[in-house]
Structure 1
Amino acid sequence: MTLDDAYANAPYIEGAADYPPRWAAEAAAYRQRMSLAGKARLGVMYGHGTRQAMDLFLPDGVPEGLVVFVHGGYWLKFDRSDWSHLAEGAVRRGWAVAMPSYDLCPRVRIGDIVRQVADAVTVVAHEVEGPLRLAGHSAGGHLVARLSEPGVLPDDVRGRLARVMPISPVADLAPLMQTSMNRDLKIDEAEVLAESPMRHAAPGVPVTVWVGADERPAFVDQAKGLATAWGCDCVVEPGRHHFDVIDGLADPENAMVTRLLE
């Protein structure tokens, strides 16, 4: 028996096919608006590959600090250009927001992606001063959870971490070994142990796990499991599923943005 259905979101979300083009359109409109205002730095390179680049959105005045949002897609799809509009909530509250792309599996392994995103955070943290807050969705939730752990970010950068918010994270990679995605992810036992935040000690920085109440049970279990393992808060937001649980990031008054920035 495989776990493909347990980790399949689209079949259980009404109008699922409409979400990716909507995300892309809203993100493109936001980038255009911020570029015209002189508040966007697009395609900032942090590595040598074409996907090792990020977009940085700036508020009016000196930033209060830096938020980095890491996208999901099971480490297999999407890039920074699909999520730009989600920067608006933090930007309107005075924060700079960076959104990196990264290389995808099967070209690289999940551990390689962790190191790439750590490089991205390190580069942009040296450009924007102040406290650092990380948020990521799904596979991105896994990545920011890993970045919160000792030894992943340089000490001077990690010392600025004020909040980490894994949203609907995949915190234990072991179940994905039983899905057809593993043909491309190539997760093995060693990677499960090395790259599963739920199997590691609490990182000693403020963490809030967030998940939608209407998500697939596997994702609710993963979120609650991470919160239990790390002894941190877990917010289960009513009426939200895996695709719309991130919508609140675009609203400066939303509870998700408030918790991320508090």
Structure 2
Amino acid sequence: MKKLANHALFRKDVFGRSPSLTTGSRLAAAPFPAGTYRNIARMASPQTRLIEYLPSSQRQRLLLRLMRQRAGRQLRHALGKVHPADIAQLFPLLRPDEQLHVLEVLFEQRLAAATLSELDPDIQRQLLGEISDQKLAVILGRLPADDAVDLLEGLDEERREELLAALDKPLAARLGNLMVHGGTTAGGLMNPDVVFFRADQTVAHTLEAIREIAEGRRLFYLYVTDDRGHLIGLANLWRLLTADRERLLREIMSADV
């Protein structure tokens, strides 16, 4: 077989687990080296194709070209075979509109969350400003809690509150708790608009406390704790306003946290 740089003849199932290298008329078992494989041409035999092997540096160049060409199916296929950290390395080389397009494709592939967490902070903030709240809420739900809190840190206070209100209650409670207490994130977030109340407080007492701290704040949920300070529930502000004033927070909260 004539040797070509970075080329080899593989069987048709080149993306299978056990490809075979074609050497003349004989088939020999061959390792499947790390990298990307691109279909170059169909050979005379219908079972054989010419496949180009691309080492990492060439793989990155091919992926960048697919990103810029908005290559649709080819881009989706290629992104699914690359680690999010490697994808993130290419974002500084793309125009803002190209970055957004790639992010849309990543969202379809369920890779947007992992890739966003790997991006340069400046690029991340720029992209977060272009993503809808609906999609960003989905992305937050796909991230580990610590990474989600770090991502929220890049948002302004108003949007952060709106996103917390849009999230599932259990997730909002977890993230709110991390933002107040710091968790394991770098420095944590101290969000004064996430407030905690004891479960044995009455509605009347809670409303009075809210009036004292409400100026300049936008409260959506109240985080309810037991007598040891452990988060045990979440109370909707509207539910609080319409509840009997003598009821306890534990009676109106959602315990699904």
TM-score w.r.t. structure 1 length?
A: 0.26
Richer in helix (by share): 2
RCO (CA 8 Å, sep 6+): is it higher in 1 or 2?
Answer: 1
